[in-house]
Structure 1
């Protein structure tokens, strides 16, 4: 199996080099750039197994359960922007890797935990230091990670911090397989379905392990079966035929599995933890999952990597084929009036740009009207906050200690905050996508006219289009902060600023501290009235900031729509100039150039056919 994988990988590397030579020869820079990246990935030869999930789904506890020890940072608040990678090492080791290429810094286990755990009181100071960190590396004798497997623990997909969310997206771009954590008590939320569709499946990741965590919160086997069936049906509805092989779906208790292994390793557990111990490790669901994961990594891993390599290779091959096909036909046909043809095409392109600008202006109007709808949604969502806070106070049955009181309040406020995020962010994303889809349809219509004119001008018979948004980046912002993260950050900043301003009413500042969750304060019998007093001003500030965030986000989307369309038009103008220069040089060597192009295109076809049977 290993020899077969190595041989196939070497064959793909040869194909990459062959196509890279052709893309360099014909000065197709985008293809050359992507092939260089693929070439480096093949050389690095690591299998990236990326763990993703929304905040508080238990990703770090899940990985700790695999390790059998509490290693990775966990918190009731999002942890730092440092990605944690677990690799195989015969003895535990901890290193920080830096973006500037300096030598990795070794750390003790305690230093590692202190550095990666979130500290809300000095986040702003620490964020400067964290910007220099590329990732934290944990070496551990974990069998799964042998033979180049890297287990990557990512921040929550609904994290409040833009940097952390972008890190997750970056690692998904390089993922060979994904472990997606869900929660049994809130399985497959709207945000998780959206993330699965937009960030995993659209990234052409077809090998996904779905983990429904917190099995121990379900009351009976009947409820367990109900949750499994619900997730199974909904996942299959979303994924369709995107998955390779059977659906990998597991119901686990990471927390119980971790406790069992910590006890097995001789660690002391508290009386509360002992009550949570499972009767058998198999009750947690971990043994079956680990067995299936081991088989996947030992047997299927090679095919996953090969599929990923071939998919990237074929995309670049097809793009190069489009350019060479058009180049061949242009050389083949007589174009005595070349200057006139190119001038007419340039005029058509120039007339198209104002039409695209009109489309952009139209979606500006649509987005402006959507502000009213967003504000209505904000009022509905924020109106739930006071009631939820007040409702939580009578149900409190813990001790008088500040720690217990803070934990109780934070749990209820976290739920209220998520309601606001889900209520507004999901609706806002629908509005943004509708606007972008309308723009894309109109712009593709303009491109269709230009493609037809381009082909007719040069008598091209190819059905491959030079202009299409299908080969462009998404019109939505890929690496920018999503509205969900922006909104969450807005809530935090608005309340933190209100609290920090000593000129504001002291009682309202105190209530703002409760709602922001980030600052501890005593809880007394007057808290319900304090929240009620604070709510009008808080909700008004929240609405203002949500609208500001919406306008800022839609402005960037609008600019991106116009930029992507105009970049394609500008590239076509550039290609026309290349045609003009090349055609005049090529007349005397037409037969030679056609022969060479035919040979290169046959080579592309042979590679494309060969990759069909490479794994």
Structure 2
């Protein structure tokens, strides 16, 4: 069964559950079902195209779309991230760094305002969202993402990979068959792309029309061996294409040229990867887990209602008072939470500072060695371009090594808060019920569980943009102090050996304080990231707890009201609950079997 068919089946299933519980006062459950339905309906397959400037990425995307949409030229063109998706109306949205969106008519003139040769600040633009009614985009809910060159030293543009690549179903790496696997491409593969999973990378060797036909296989073999050596992975997927020929074939309606261009084969590979790729499986399992959690929550609420229905009106009123009394303790809960969170935050910050202090010592030592051993003559260029790249690598490596640990700490904090609130509430309610002698042999109907309070956002990898949010701060303004050092008068373009030694001595005296400033800015960014998530977890735990109290109170109130109705109405309600429970048990059984076996059919 295809991914699209599985999604369609789940949507039908969720709609059935939604209809069955529509008459029940499950406010939060209704929201969760609607959110899941919306997420599935708006599920996209993302295809990201990366590669150096002038390797034909935009031309290739135009060929896929069967129209000359994106600007192309012999000079570097793409200076922004261009996300192309389905839209019945053609439109252009400029999503800016300040979170504002400018809506424009989709024209060539409008798009050309954002090419590399234009005078605009790329740091002010997050991405361009382009909507067109292209068949390729509609059939599979595909988003095509055209990116700037991997050799683009602008930190904002090059770090876009951390916004799009982790979520991509397919990553197309565009090579130039006439000059395959340059140094910048090797670096990008090793430092960035390899960390995102080899199984999603498809290599395209463009410009096969510029290589003698009898040499194509030889060049492909060389390129594949080179990639295998870099990747440490033999099964490299690489396909020769001629993107411009694909465009010409489209315009001339030349089927033979279209086939020769390699585009049909690549289209087939992309579709296959989208259906069977790892990202589709990840999203599908996430949908399964979310639906299973919703069904478990509904089952629990129905069990609660069934148990409440066995109690008398007087017993229900006493239970209502026990819940009501718990509201008076909410401020105590909040105070305990604030103190607990503050203590954990201080512990997190201490660990963070120790780690970045260690990073600082390591970076300074390596930077000093790099400067001392520099043998070139253009030290200004070295400071302006190579030292920022050197620093950026170290910061990226630190994020790669520590992001899982950071998220694990936040996850543990979230679970601890949920467990604390659960324990406090259940202990209080049990005490009140024992005092009122209302404990039933069938169990207490309104316990709160940890899962009721914890939204497991950290576990799902949804915290504040995940690793991408931190990766985006390792360039840009943070590195400006290092780049600014290139403006020192002593660091001239060309220096004789004696002057070079003087320049290096001066540079060594200045690099320490400069790195201190860079690392302090990085520390503050990571601190802000962690504190923002800690606040979100704290607020979320309290909100979830309040929701549970309100839901319990509403359920008891509803049962008290039912006692005022005739027995026929009560029996009808119980019959409906039994029907819903029976249906859910069937669904829950299927979910558990799929999640335990990993079978996705």
Q: Partners of 1:309 and 1:32 in 2: how far apart? A: 16
Q: What residue in structure 1 maps to residue 186 of structure 2?
A: 185
Secondary structure in 2 aligned to 1:332?
Answer: coil
Task: Check 1:68–1:418 CA distance in 2 against 1; reply closer, same or farther (3 A cut).
Answer: farther
Offset of residue 329 of structure 1: 2.6
Among 567, 591, 598, the alignment partner of 2:543 is: 567
- Root-mean-square deviation (CA), in Å? 5.7
Q: Partners of 1:552 and 1:388 in 2: how far apart? A: 31
Q: Is the 8 A contact 1:512 1:538 kept in 2?
A: no
Offset of residue 195 of structure 1: 5.8
Q: What residue in structure 2 maps to residue 209 of structure 1?
A: 200
Among 450, 453, 458, the alignment partner of 1:474 is: 458
In the superposition, the TM-score normalised over structure 1's length comes to: 0.64
Q: What residue in structure 2 maps to residue 326 of structure 1?
A: 304
Q: Partners of 2:259 and 2:19 in 1: how far apart? A: 54
Among 144, 151, 154, the alignment partner of 1:152 is: 144
Where does 1:268-307 land on structure 2 (aligned, <5 Å)?
290-295=267-272
The number of equivalent residue pairs is 526
Offset of residue 569 of structure 1: 1.9
Q: What residue in structure 1 maps to residue 19 of structure 2?
A: 21
Offset of residue 546 of structure 1: 2.6
Secondary structure in 2 aligned to 1:96?
Answer: strand
1:577 pairs with 2:553: yes
Q: Is the 8 A contact 2:82 2:145 kept in 1?
A: yes
1:135 pairs with 2:129: yes
Q: Is the 8 A contact 1:322 1:464 kept in 2?
A: no
Task: Check 1:385–1:452 CA distance in 2 against 1; reply closer, same or farther (3 A cut).
Answer: same
Q: Partners of 1:37 and 1:98 in 2: how far apart? A: 26
Among 344, 348, 366, the alignment partner of 1:384 is: 366
Q: Deviations over 1:233-273 (max 9, x none)?
A: xxxxxxxxxxxxxxxx74337xxx46x44368679xxxxxx
Q: Is the 8 A contact 2:320 2:557 kept in 1?
A: no
Gaps of 5+ in 2: 175-180, 207-218, 250-257, 434-438
Offset of residue 449 of structure 1: 2.6
Secondary structure in 1 aligned to 2:139?
Answer: coil
Q: Partners of 2:4 and 2:556 in 1: how far apart? A: 46
In the superposition, the TM-score normalised over structure 2's length comes to: 0.65
Offset of residue 377 of structure 1: 0.7
Q: Is the 8 A contact 2:396 2:474 kept in 1?
A: no
Among 571, 591, 602, the alignment partner of 2:571 is: 591
Q: Partners of 1:558 and 1:416 in 2: how far apart? A: 31
Q: Partners of 1:37 and 1:170 in 2: how far apart? A: 24
Q: Partners of 1:34 and 1:57 in 2: how far apart? A: 43
Q: What residue in structure 2 maps to residue 199 of structure 1?
A: none
Offset of residue 121 of structure 1: 5.8
1:601 pairs with 2:596: no
Q: Partners of 1:578 and 1:388 in 2: how far apart? A: 68
Among 305, 318, 322, the alignment partner of 1:341 is: 322
Task: Check 1:59–1:427 CA distance in 2 against 1; reply closer, same or farther (3 A cut).
Answer: farther
Gaps of 5+ in 1: 197-206, 233-248, 268-280, 398-404, 500-507, 515-520
Q: Is the 8 A contact 2:62 2:247 kept in 1?
A: no
Among 239, 252, 255, the alignment partner of 2:238 is: 252
Q: What residue in structure 2 maps to residue 510 of structure 1?
A: 487
Q: Partners of 1:444 and 1:39 in 2: how far apart? A: 27
Secondary structure in 2 aligned to 1:151?
Answer: strand
Offset of residue 34 of structure 1: 4.5
